[in-house]
Amino acid sequence: MLEQVPADKSEPSPWSAGGSESFATASLYTDVNGVIAGLQVRNSGSKSEFQIRADVLRVLAPGGADGMEWQNGYIRVYRGNSQRIIGNGFGVPGEGLVDYFGPNVGAAAASKANATMWMDDGGNAYWGGSLAAGVLRNAVQTTTTITVGTSVTTGLFSTNGRNKAVTIGFSRRHSRIKTALGSQGFVAGAGANGATINVYRTLNGQGEVLWQQFGVGGSVEILNEFDGPDRATSTWGGSISINDPADGSTQRSYRAEVVGFTEQTVTHQSGSFEQQTITQSLSLVSIEQ
């Protein structure tokens, strides 16, 4: 006799020959090196259950560029150059984001600086706009997919002489899809995903000078299916925050430029793939409070 003991019992029911119970279960799972992914459907005649075991639950549009994913305590919905994330454990460390809407920079690169709307675990919130009750905010962003040479600039702006928190973020996502079935799949090769960003500052009446330089990293995620499409996704992401308390109320401008870019090679064993989608964001935000 096989019985699932209810929580309010300390021992199973007396043994019986059985045979008249109504119970059904169906399971589908894979086990690779002890890592299990799968699902189970159970029905006892009085209670039904649907269980999924996976690190990531992802639903993608047929083209693969739009979709929804649930992992690590947050839900992310993305389409084109926009994304919405609700939950916890995502975004730039230390910002405590619980709700985010903004450019499709991925979950790790989501930040208050590049968001159109955000809420955090401290009860603070922000919704769009260039000015907010005593706060001077200048922001600029480009979604061009060109890498080296792409830049954004605030242009000269006025300041009240207080500290300006300047945040620069870069992200890129390159998705590839091969729809043919079979044992062949995507393979990651040599190199590494990375980019170098220069940040320049110009004071009114003076020349532009290199202010900061930072690098971003990335990774490659490959999902090969024997009976479904193969997918390979390359990502880049990173940001830096700089304080500028100097030079009083002198007008100034900031500019960020991609000056270096590297990519880990990704190939398909068949020699080709049918679809690809590339999205990219370079943003610069200056906030003076």
Residue-by-residue DSSP string for 56-118: EEEEE-TTSSSEEEEETTEEEEEETTEEEEEESS-SSTTS-EEEEEEE---STT--TTT-SEE
Give the model's pLDDT for residue 147. 97
The length of the chain is 289
Residue 59 forms part of a structural domain: yes
Running DSSP on this structure, what letter comes out for residue 130?
S
CA distance 14 to 1: 10
112, 148: one domain: no
- Asked if residues 135 and 129 have their Cβ atoms less than 8 Å apart, the reply is no
- Domain endpoint, select from 128, 150, 177: 128
169, 232: one domain: yes
- Which residue type, as a one-letter code, is found at position 143? T
Give the model's pLDDT for residue 130. 47
- Domain endpoint, select from 73, 103, 128: 128
Q: What is the pTM of this model?
A: 0.60
- Asked if residues 58 and 175 have their Cβ atoms less than 8 Å apart, the reply is no
175, 112: one domain: no
- Asked if residues 249 and 161 have their Cβ atoms less than 8 Å apart, the reply is yes
Q: What's the domain count of the chain? A: 3
Give the model's pLDDT for residue 128. 65
Which segments of the chain have a pLDDT < 70?
1, 17-22, 63-65, 128-134
Give the model's pLDDT for residue 1. 63
65, 33: one domain: no
287, 191: one domain: yes
Residue whose pair of structure tokens reads 């799968």 in the numeric block: 38
Give the model's pLDDT for residue 20. 60
Give the model's pLDDT for residue 98. 95
Q: Which residues form the domain of 36?
A: 24-53
- Asked if residues 177 and 67 have their Cβ atoms less than 8 Å apart, the reply is no
CA distance 116 to 129: 8
